[in-house]
Amino acid sequence: MLSKPVPPLPAEPPQGCPFSPPPQYAVLRVEEPVSRVSLPDGSWAWLITRYEDVRAVLSDPRFSSDSTAPGFPRSGMVTAGESGSLIRTDPPEHTRRRRMLTPHVTVKSVSALRPRIQEITDGLCDAMEAEREAAGSPGYVDLVRSLALPLPSSVISLLLGVPDEDHDVFQSITATVMSRVNAEEERTAARARLLSYLRELVAGKERNPGDDILSGLIHDRMGAGELTHDEVVGTAALLLVAGHETTANMIGLGALTLLRYPHAAEELRKDPSLMPGAVEELLRFHSVTRSGPRRAATADVEVGGQVIKAGEGIICALASANRDPEVFPDPDGFDPQRANSQHHVAFGYGVHQCLGQALARAELQISLNTLLRRFPELRLAVEFEDVPFRSDMLVYGCHALPVTW
């Protein structure tokens, strides 16, 4: 008897429904919630599609985040800030290094940063107004290029002490690293350029410290022997990629979603205090990380009735978990006042859940509230069907978002 062929890891949204995750997820959640999928390099991994199983895997210490662990599904994975970085270590080393960063990204510290985020957002919106006026009629502004990309890039660069003039370089490098269509050689070269720059940046801050996260890590932690030079560089690379790419895509998708759901936008415009709940629903609804988190089993573990053996890889489908009808009624509907939207796993779960989630929430809340307030007549400058989506990237979103008002 021939063995059943292993299908590829789902990646594409259904035709004509760019807000939806790959349609295979809905079938797999019911018929085969823990299933084998093939990866581009010919290897395979277990795909986890149910909410309960995803949370179980991400909170189980028998599943390793170390990309050098036997069976870890590396194929098609982000390469910037990877090996030896915070997200690729397990406790107790992970606990030790995460604790060093936590004070810089707590809800309290991010709250103190909100006026600066608002100031940056206002400046970018001023530039959007000027660009639209200069374009004349029927001109448009690309909201991705003018707001969604530069806002998180500016904020994370501010936190790390990166010069403003280098923002464009980081956007270009991150786009190369995160592309699913670029060759592995291109990604590796982009990662090398990023790390080379960051080594110089760290060396400069060793000589001339500033008031930023990197300077603090260098002089408080590296100086005490708690972190090596390479660990500081890897942490900076991780923060730049993670703090820029994912939030940028959520800002673009969030703005587009509010344009597609004008009644929700009007409610939020009238009552901006509803925005935090709406942001949680946007995070659940979109789940921009489409090919992870990934793990490797270090022991035989049963998940969803399936035994996963030591040395086998796992991919947790966050977008599928966040559309699980067992947890979220009418999961494919967008409801800004959904009662349990905050239970989403868009930021992961367990000890490795996103360190910068408070910062991402603040940037989303501020940028979307500002757009609604500053541009009450904001609308798409193209048909919705003509918006280019990033199914070719490891993080889902819009390549461009032409808008006018």
> What are 326-354's pLDDT values in tens digits?
999 999 999 999 999 999 999 999 999 99
Q: Where are the beta strands (DSSP E) in 340-401?
A: 379-380
CB 51 within 8 A of CB 322: yes
Q: What is the mean pLDDT of residues 27-54?
A: 96
Position 293 confidence tier, pLDDT thresholds 50, 70, 90: very high
Whole-prediction pTM? 0.91
Percent helix, strand, coil in the chain, to 5, is: 55, 10, 40
Q: Is 12 inside a domain boundary?
A: no
7, part of any domain: no
* Whether residue 45 has pLDDT greater than 60: yes
Q: Which of 8-22, 43-57, 374-388 has the lowest mean pLDDT?
A: 8-22
pLDDT above 70 as % of the chain: 95
- 56 in a domain, yes or no? yes
Which is it for strands 44-48 and 313-316: parallel, antiparallel or unpaired?
Answer: parallel
Model pLDDT, residue 1: 38
- Please give the pLDDT value at position 153: 87
Helix (H) or strand (E) holding 255: helix 229-260
> 404 burial class (0-12, 13-18, 19+ CB within 10 angstroms)?
middle
Residue 382 lies in a domain: yes
The yes-or-no verdict on residue 2 having pLDDT over 50 is no
Residue 5 belongs to a domain: no
**How many Cβ atoms from other residues are within 10 Å of residue 13's Cβ?**
18
Is 17 within a domain?
no
Q: What is the C-alpha to C-alpha distance for residues 390 and 21, in angstroms, rounded to an integer?
A: 12
The pLDDT of residue 179: 64
Read off the pLDDT of residues 111-136 as tens digits, 9 standing for 90 and up.
999 999 999 999 999 999 999 988 88
pLDDT computed for residue 18 by the predictor: 92
| CATH number of residue 202's parent domain | 1.10.630.10
Specify the number of domains making up the chain. 1
Separation of alpha carbons 78 and 178, rounded Å: 6
15 within domain boundaries: no
pLDDT of residue 84: 57
Tokens of 199: 């080594």
Domain-located, residue 10: no
Residue 78 has pLDDT above 70, yes or no: no
**Of all helices (H) and strands (E), which one includes residue 295?**
strand 294-297
Domain holding 268, by residue range, is 24-404
